[in-house]
Amino acid sequence: MKVRVEIDCTPLEARQSIGLPDVAPMQIAVMDKLQQQMMANIDRVSPEALMQSWFTFDPKLAERFQDLFAAIMVGLGGTLLARPGGKAGVTLANAVPEQRLGPK
């Protein structure tokens, strides 16, 4: 014997029928608080503010990032910046255009 029971109700009605509390007011309050905090701190995460906070403690940090990037590119490319018979380990900062292009 098969018995099929079909209940047509909303999720809120289903929660209330089994005795669960209504959490909608709490969810609304939490989301409002979260939105207020996000709007209060939106200026801190703007691109300009992030760049300023990253580069204010060390004025040469931008130069160091450039050197780091050049070292990574040389490491990844192996001989990308060296010509046959030339010096290996040439950085982007002191490479001349012929060295950047590689052998002709």
Burial of 58 (0-12, 13-18, 19+ CB in 10 A): exposed
Please give the Cα distance from 75 to 80 (Å, whole number).
9
Type of residue numbered 61: L
∠ CA 39-40-42, nearest 5°, is 60
Nearest to 99 by CA among 78, 82, 76: 82
Query: Regarding predicted confidence, which is higher, 3 or 41?
Result: 3
Q: What is the mean pLDDT of residues 71-96?
A: 58
pLDDT (0 to 100) of residue 103: 53
> Who has greater pLDDT, 1 or 86?
1
Kindly list the domain boundaries of the chain, sorted by start residue.
58-101
Q: What is the DSSP letter of 60?
A: T
Q: What is the mean pLDDT of the chain?
A: 76
DSSP 2-58: ---------HHHHHHHTT----HHHHHHHHHHHHHHHHHTGGGGSHHHHHHHHHSS-
Radius of gyration of the chain (CA): 31
Provide the whole-model pTM.
0.39
